[in-house]
Amino acid sequence: MDNKSAVGTAIGKIILIGEHAVVYGQPALAIPFPKTKIKTIISRKKGSITLDCFFYKGLLFNTPERLLGLISIIKEIVNSFDEELENFSIRIESSIPPERGMGSSAAVAVATIRALYDFFSQPLTNENLLKWSNVSEKIVHGNPSGIDTAIIIEETPLYYTKGRPFAPFPFKLNAYLIVADTGEPGQTQAAVASVKKLMESNPEKGELLIKQLGVLTEDAKISIEAKDVVKLGKIMNEAHSILDKLGVSNGTLNHLVSVALNNGAIGAKLTGGGRGGCMIALAATQQQAKFISNKLLCSRAKNIWIYNMGVDLL
């Protein structure tokens, strides 16, 4: 038996603005986040397939249900190659915290698909990469927008409105983005249910808040194109206030947003599904970003990433 091995990689993503409103036909802006990464390593190993990842280590066929999306595409892809589901191992290394709204499940799927195609010496098109990734995401999230998969595959900033094609847009700002992990898993389903309940119980209020988020997203795109960092910061603050009114924030997120703003951030808001997960803040300089990051870490943030928005997206 040979010692063949293969590697597939993928990066994370951050939603700048538009989360939740995108479900109701409003636009969203998202960017690739190469500060966090997934690496899937597939190696030849005699016997039953084993999986080693954040949530589980053991035989592939004994994996917990939370990994059903990943396991399904592994089985289906290998079967599509007319290969046997045996004699290899899968190890997944991740710096993307799971359940934080940073695209972990989509990135794991993309990295694993790339590794499988490489391991079995099969040509991989973007069409197949997107197809298999969406199979996994539908199992994981039920009815995903598709923005996570598109961002992670294309590695380019995207402007997205439900039912329309993804639109890449130029993104380069003389500013720094701070991403802070609350340490709490995001509760996307609960947050989505909260918004839906408001839309049903008080449609006038709910629709107004959703439309306001849509307008803010449009304004954010204009601000980014104009390289107006101060305006973008104000928009982020307004967006967080609306998301809080929609019931998708929580005490920890609100606290970290306040800490960032009280220590010089130009703007701050939650990112992703909410009710946990991560928040983001905008800083004018690297020194300011480091100062704000230290304050966030002293205020119970579990992890911090600083992202140079004028360089890292080139």
Instruction: Give catalytic residue positions.
Output: 148
- Please write the tens of the pLDDT for every residue from 262-272: 999 999 999 99
Tell me what the mean pLDDT of segment 222-239 comes to: 96
- Please write the tens of the pLDDT for every residue from 281-309: 999 999 999 999 999 999 999 999 999 98
SS (H, E, C) 59-89: EHHHCCHHHHHHHHHHHHHHHHCCCCCCCEE
Structural domains present in the chain: 5-167 (3.30.230.10), 172-308 (3.30.70.890)
Q: What percent of the chain has pLDDT over 70?
A: 98
- Please write the tens of the pLDDT for every residue from 82-105: 999 999 999 999 999 988 889 999
Distance CA 225, CA 171 (A): 7
| Kind plus residue range of the DSSP H or E element containing 111 | helix 104-119
pLDDT of 314 above 70 = no
Taking the mean position of all CA atoms in its chain, how far away is CA 60? Answer: 25
